[in-house]
Amino acid sequence: MNAAGADEKRREEDKRNTVLGPAGRWQTILQAITWAEAQPQIQRNTPAKCLKLQQAKLAAEASVSPTPLVPNRVHEV
């Protein structure tokens, strides 16, 4: 981090400490954690999950009887 960035970071931390104080900052952190834990879990496409879904689709596909092919019929007018 450059000097300007470090100075800005220090100023922002000083502002937060002035407004909230240590107890207020801790309370804000706890509220943020509580909010994050209350959010619904995000579905991830992990390799294991993808493999499980693929196996389920292949099993479902294998259990369905194949549809017989019907040739296209051309209607003559």
Summarised one tens digit per residue, pLDDT across range 45-66 is 899 999 999 999 999 888 876 6
- pLDDT tens digits along 4-36: 889 999 999 888 888 888 888 899 999 999 999
CA distance linking residue 52 with residue 3, whole number of Å: 51
Instruction: Say what the pLDDT of residue 73 is.
Output: 67
Between 1 and 13, name the one with better pLDDT.
13
Instruction: Say what the pLDDT of residue 30 is.
Output: 96
Q: In residues, how long is the chain?
A: 77
Question: How many angstroms separate the Cα of 45 from the Cα of each of 49, 53, 55, 60?
Answer: 6, 10, 15, 20
Q: Pseudo-torsion of CA 6, 11, 12, 18, nearest 10°?
A: 150
Which residues fall within 8 angstroms of residue 16, CB to CB, at 6 or more apart? 25
